[in-house]
Amino acid sequence: MRSIGNTGLRVQPIGLGGMPLSIQGRPDERTGRAVIEAFLAGGGNFIDTAISYCFDNTDLGHNERLIAATLKALGRTDVIVATKGGLTRPNGQWDVDCTPGWLRHCCEQSARDLGAPIALYYLHAVDPNVPLAESLGELVKLRDEGTIAAIGLSNVTARHVDEALALTPIAAVQNRCNVLEARDVKSGLVARCGELGIAYVPYSPVGGHWGHRKLAANADVARIAAKHGTSPHAIAIAWLLALGPHVLPIPGASKVASIENSLTAAALTLDTDDLAVLDRLNTPRR
Ligand SMILES: NC(=O)c1ccc[n+]([C@@H]2O[C@H](COP(=O)([O-])OP(=O)(O)OC[C@H]3O[C@@H](n4cnc5c(N)ncnc54)[C@H](OP(=O)(O)O)[C@@H]3O)[C@@H](O)[C@H]2O)c1
């Protein structure tokens, strides 16, 4: 088990990223439920979602409702669901809106769909048109009112984290990070989160919708996968887990086989030779 920052919440190291179950190309509802059920059957207890994981603005909350309905049908009240607000989906595009009014609207809808308090609520991005303090100020109010229990940041730099910490405790930082795209390892942000007692949640941990094929085609990753008798995806997740005990990868899946395979990464131990090769693919470890 690993901690979500200083929230006191303990979760299995590998979460489920819910996005592929609700955006363009999503599977039918039966398959979506089966993916979530397979994750839970494999011992998972931490699910990542967002109000914006849907087709467009007429469909906001699709992913949260799918998760909530699946958990309800199974009678599972012990699963930690983290969600996010601050994006909109006009005609299926991804736009940022972190005005206090929109954040409150999103958060209150998510609380109705998931149940309050929401264990962890992320600011999905920093809005270039709204001061971070203004967006975060609304989340602080929502926490004080009991709608959310803890605040996270997503798509942020170290400077944003420092600015946010001056205003409120932060439980988690969620940024794009995988063995081929490890900017936050190189910049030291992953390590810094650990020092600050903040969970680091790498999204697109196997490269994302397109990048996971590139990862699978990487000769070094494939060689290490063959050595361990596993998939390149599992190796990539194991590499993230080895960055520190505060790292909680959230692989996405629209197929049961994908999440079943991702969960096997928790049992993998990469040796120093493996880590040296994988580190060199992108960036040296600090
Ligand atoms: N905060 C943000 O701005 C942000 C942005 C992007 C994503 N996220 C979150 O992070 C989660 C993960 O990111 P992601 O879904 O973009 O990318 P990802 O986890 O890197 O996965 C992308 C795709 O890779 C395939 N895959 C994953 N594990 C596999 C395995 N073990 N074997 C074979 N194929 C595998 C899946 O394909 P199939 O669909 O075929 O199963 C999956 O849809 C999202 O679901 C979402 O919750 C957050």
Backbone angles phi, psi at 119, to 5 degrees: -60, -40
CATH of the domain at 240: 3.20.20.100
Ligand 1: residue of 87, 176, 212, 263 to mutate (most ligand atoms within 8 A of CB) is 212
Q: How many angstroms is it from 133 CA to the middle of ligand 1?
A: 30
Contacts of residue 127, Cβ cutoff 8 Å, sequence gap at least 6: 86, 96, 97, 98, 99, 135
On average, the pLDDT of the chain sits at 97
Tens-place pLDDT, residues 233-265:
999 999 999 999 999 999 999 999 999 999 999
* pLDDT score at 141: 98
* pLDDT score at 286: 40
Asked if pLDDT for residue 2 goes beyond 70, the answer is: yes
How far is 202 from 247, CA to CA, in rounded Å?
Answer: 7
Say if residue 20 is preceded by a cis peptide, omega within 30 of 0. Answer: no
- Our count of domains for the chain comes to 1
Range of the domain at 120: 2-282
What percent of the chain is predicted at pLDDT more than 70? Answer: 99
Q: Is 95 exposed, middle or buried (0-12, 13-18, 19+ CB in 10 A)?
A: middle
Q: How many angstroms is it from 25 CA to the middle of ligand 1?
A: 13
| Token pair belonging to 141 | 């109010």
Q: How many angstroms is it from 209 CA to the middle of ligand 1?
A: 6
Asked if pLDDT for residue 131 goes beyond 80, the answer is: yes
Tens-place pLDDT, residues 37-92:
999 999 999 999 999 999 999 999 999 999 999 999 999 999 999 999 999 999 99
Tens-place pLDDT, residues 210-237:
899 999 999 999 999 999 999 999 999 9
Ligand 1 atom at minimal distance to the Cα of residue 212? 24
Ligand 1, atom 42: closest residue by C-alpha: 253
Residues framing ligand 1 (Cβ under 6 A): 17-20, 48, 154-155, 174, 203-209, 212, 231, 233-234, 250-255, 258, 261-262
* pLDDT score at 282: 77
* pLDDT score at 39: 98
Start-to-end CA distance of the chain, whole Å, equals 24
Asked if pLDDT for residue 284 goes beyond 60, the answer is: no
Ligand 1: residue of 250, 254, 263 to mutate (most ligand atoms within 8 A of CB) is 250
Residue 202's nearest CA partner among 155, 169, 160 is 155
Ligand 1 atom at minimal distance to the Cα of residue 203? 10
Ligand 1: residue of 106, 258, 262, 264 to mutate (most ligand atoms within 8 A of CB) is 258
Q: How many angstroms is it from 134 CA to the middle of ligand 1?
A: 31
Q: How many angstroms is it from 16 CA to the middle of ligand 1?
A: 9
Residues annotated as catalytic are 53
